[in-house]
Amino acid sequence: MRRKLFISFIFAGLILVAAFFLIPYKSEPSTEVLGTQVVEIEEYTNNINSSDERVVTHGSRNQKKIALTFDGEMTDGMKDNLLSDRRKGSYDARIADILTQTNTKATFFLTGMWIELYPQVTRDLSGNPLLELASHSYTDSSFDGYCYGLKQIPNDEKKHEAIAITQKLLKDVAGFDNRLFRFPGGCYLQKDLDLVNNAGLKVVHWDISGGDGFNQSSASIEQNVLGNVQNGSIIILHLNGSPTAPKTAEALPKIISELKLRGFEFVKVSELL
Could you list the residue range(s) of the whole structural domain that residue 52 is in? 33-272
Q: Tell which residue, 263, 268, 236, 239, has the closest CA to residue 57.
A: 236
**134 lies in a domain?**
yes
Q: pTM of the predicted model, to two decimals?
A: 0.84
CATH label of the domain that carries residue 264: 3.20.20.370
**207 lies in a domain?**
yes
Residue 136: φ, ψ to 5°:
-125, 35
**Number of structural domains in the chain:** 1
Spatial separation of the C-alpha atoms in residues 106 and 66, rounded to whole Å: 10
Spatial separation of the C-alpha atoms in residues 138 and 157, rounded to whole Å: 13
**6 lies in a domain?**
no
**26 lies in a domain?**
no
**13 lies in a domain?**
no
**77 lies in a domain?**
yes
Separation of CA 48 from chain center: 13
**170 lies in a domain?**
yes
**174 lies in a domain?**
yes
For every one of its 273 residues, what pLDDT tens digit does the chain have, with 9 covering 90 and above?
Answer: 445 444 454 445 544 434 433 333 223 334 444 555 444 444 454 444 456 889 999 999 999 999 999 999 999 999 999 999 877 889 999 999 999 999 999 999 999 999 999 999 999 999 999 999 999 999 999 999 889 888 999 899 999 999 999 999 999 999 999 999 999 999 999 999 999 999 999 999 999 999 999 999 999 999 999 999 999 999 999 999 999 999 999 999 999 999 999 999 999 999 999
